[in-house]
Amino acid sequence: MANLSSAWGTMTLQGGWNLTDIKHLVRIMDMHQYFYYNICWNEDTIKKITTNLRRSKEQHFNAMGRWSFQNNLESFFDVLDPQYMDRVYKAVHSTPRQIFNSYYYLLKNMKERELTIHWSYTDEEAGNGYLYTQIGYHSITAKFQYNVSSYQTYTYNLKNYCAVYLEGDDEPVYEAAFNLSKLFNIPQESIVELIKKHETWYDLGTCYFSDTAEEFINRYPELHKDIIALNKSGVTDAS
């Protein structure tokens, strides 16, 4: 089984998309909510998704990628292969015939009228250390294809995870510091200051340090020196 990545972003329709076009696209979008590597469109109903696209031509989403979300986008329309369709016949709000009709409708109209589907998103997968932002779009020549317009990779560490994936939210730093404070009887705020002061701490990644003290010392001997220094300075958690 492939690793799961976690992506979030915005899908935008460009070109002269009308309500009929959008309804056909939403049928394909709906399918993706029921796959293992799914896309959640952040709306309660198909009707709301359709209305939102008609009004703003944008739709926010969260998704699980197969290794990376780019793989999902490259196969966004390929899921109409019968081996996948069988899994969602009972789940989606359309019949197989309706879904295939929508596929061929989009294939014809997106090509003839130069309609495109644009994606701007951030994706991360801890197992292989993927963290990147990407802008791309679906267009049609002879078939549906996904084109990458821009791609920015980042070193997978705690600093970039907070700054890029969480857009500045540093909650993981506090969660990591909380666990370390329990292991070494050091105040949480002191650990937070240590993490934010020393760049090397960011190399620990986004784990929340559920190791025992011995496991942590063995895994990060050079970083444990900072803990020792705090202990020697008399900084302990009196609680």
Is the pLDDT confidence value at 203 over 90? Answer: no
pTM beyond cutoff 0.85: no
Report pLDDT for 92.
67
Rg (CA), the chain: 23
In percent, the amount of the chain with pLDDT more than 70 equals 82
Q: Which two tokens stand for residue 106?
A: 């989009």
b (16+ CB within 10 A) / e for 20-54: ebbebbbbbbbbbbebebebebebeebeebbebbb
pLDDT range class, residue 221, cuts 50, 70, 90: confident
Residue 132 CB-density burial (10 A; 0-12 exposed, 13-18 middle, 19+ buried): buried
Give the torsion sign (CA, 95, 101, 104, 106). Answer: negative
Average confidence (pLDDT) over 17-28: 95
Is the pLDDT confidence value at 170 over 80? Answer: yes
Q: What is the pLDDT of residues 50-98, one digit of tens each?
A: 999 999 999 999 999 999 999 999 999 877 766 666 655 555 677 878 8
pLDDT range class, residue 208, cuts 50, 70, 90: very low
Question: Looking at beta carbons, which pairs linking 129-134 to residues 24 or more positions away fall under 8 Å?
Answer: 129/155, 129/156, 129/205, 130/5, 130/67, 130/68, 130/156, 131/155, 131/156, 131/160, 131/161, 131/164, 131/165, 132/68, 133/164, 134/69, 134/70
Q: What is the pLDDT of residues 136-158, one digit of tens each?
A: 999 998 889 999 999 999 988 87
Is the pLDDT confidence value at 106 over 50? Answer: yes
Report pLDDT for 68.
95
Look over the chain and give the mean of its residue pLDDT values, rounded to a whole number: 84
pLDDT range class, residue 222, cuts 50, 70, 90: low
Of 12-21, 26-35, 162-171, which has the strongest mean pLDDT? 12-21
Is the separation of the CB atoms in 9 and 121 below 8 Å? yes
